[in-house]
Amino acid sequence: MASSMKFTDCSPSAIVRLVPTTRTRLRSSDSAVLFHRVLGRSCPAYPRTFVSRSSISTLPVISASISTEATAQVIDGKLVAKQIREEITAEVSRMKDAIGVVPGLAVILVGDRKDSATYVRNKKKACESVGIKSFEVNLPENATEQEVLKHISDFNDDPSVHGILVQLPLPKHMNEQNVLHAVSIEKDVDGFHPLNIGRLAMRGEEPLFVPCTPKGCIELLHRYNISIKGKRAVVIGRSNIVGTPAALLLQREDATVSVVHSRTKDPEELTRQADIIISAVGKANMVEGSWIKPGAVIIDVGINPVEDASSPRGYRLVGDVCYEEASKIASAITPVPGGVGPMTIAMLLSNTLTAAKRTHNFQ
């Protein structure tokens, strides 16, 4: 039976734009879709289970086989992101003491969208928390594309700026690809430059940067000692931001990878063969328990608003995967929120530090 599912980008960089029943233009290879309130079946919120900080580096290897546990281990993205930020803080301090250089990240925001402004503000706070300098340009909604390109050019030439990020979405009168391609590949800390994606796809080549959300997904697997080599992996969604680079990263880790998308026939059957599932489709609770192989590991990138009268906001956030069902079948799973989301900004900070080290040949 052919799938009629709609797929979209659901990376945390797009999450800030999720408002129930609001149409949102996303950075995705698939067309933009409506994020709907889910009025039918939905899963209860996940139980809040956390791993102690002291155990994060000594977690047992989680084997993607039949689980003997009644409940899956929670892959705590908040905890891992906090650990990574602490590591970055130490490296930034070491670099400053050794050569007097502080990494710098520039963010360009066009328009007055409150959600985008909130996300940029969070990036600024994250930079400050680890000692990275932040540069910010705020332009009005009616700014011209040439104005944006001029600021990008200035940041490209500024030696104190090591990473450049253009907050999306841009106003409709701007060509998104022209703007993104104008960012110097050496400062493309978002990892979206075609040369970076091309190098990611080629054996024997290394990208300067990997897109932050898929990089965070793989980092979670590594930090929890989850074996990837030789495993069957399914990526649900094929956006340029998450799905496609996630599949390429898994392939680099020697997994056998399949991509489920809006034209895939029998997506449930294909997904049920996976030892590792990365879901980045943007459809609330789409992946039910019947889709999941016992003992599989699940990385849920989706963050979707569903109607919830008990919430002060009138809605709550859930993933692509029905957490209540999946947690009884999988061996490990990321919660939503608190899983992949915190990793995206942590990887952005990591990429910025890497850019500064590379520029100054600092080991």
User: Which of 9, 30, 167, 300 is labelled catalytic?
Assistant: 167
Residue 299 CA: distances (Å) to CA of 56, 267, 326, 327: 17, 17, 11, 12
SS3 1: coil
Does residue 167 have an active-site annotation?
A: yes
Structure tokens at 150: 């001029």
The question of whether 190 is a catalytic residue gets the answer yes
Q: Which residue has the tokens 């939503």?
A: 336
Distant-in-sequence, close-in-space partners of 102: CB < 8 Å, separation ≥ 6? 92, 95, 96, 131, 132, 133, 356
Kindly name the residue from 9, 30, 190, 320 that is annotated as catalytic: 190
Looking from the CA of 100 toward its CB, the CA atoms found within 13 Å total 0
Residue tagged active-site, from 30, 123, 231, 300: 123
**DSSP H or E run through 117:** helix 114-130
The letter for the amino acid at 75 is: I
Closest CA to 303 of 289, 316, 319, 323: 319
What residues are annotated to the active site? 123, 167, 190
